[in-house]
Amino acid sequence: MSMLQVGTKAPDFTLPDQSGKPVSLGDFLGEKVVVLYFYPKDNTRGCTTEACTFRDSYESFTEAGAEVIGVSSDSVATHEQFAGKHGLPFVLLADTDKAVRKQYGATSLGVVPGRVTFVIDREGVIRHAFSSQMNIGGHIEDALKVVKQLQ
């Protein structure tokens, strides 16, 4: 499946967060813009850099009316450890069977899962999609720009 495009309705889903609590995309709709980012794996260099950059910009996102949500196929326990170790203030969701990743088309060629960020407006429509394994900073910068435009 190819990556969901801008203008597409974002599929709703429910996944457990790092404390095991179920979180749905629909929980935020109508109230917040959602920055949904898919990343390959907890505790790897690139993913730690990305998570910490989102952490360091988190206040800017929340001030602009957005919630940041990270998704990988790691377990609830791994997410809990990763979030605790790096002081991550946002939700990490455990998509252990990769069903949500597939729904969003956040995959890449080869064995490594894609690094893809979506900005979803309050009505649940994708307003921005960015896919890059290497340009980690671009995920955060571009998402914040779009969130501020949607304020």
User: Which active-site residues does the annotation give?
Assistant: 47
Nearest to 52 by CA among 140, 114, 142: 140
Neighbours of 5 (CB within 10 A): 9
Distances from the Cα of 146 to the Cαs of 2, 56, 122, in angstroms?
22, 18, 13
Rounded distance, CA 56 to CA 78, Å? 21
Distances from the Cα of 35 to the Cαs of 77, 109, 130, in angstroms?
23, 23, 11
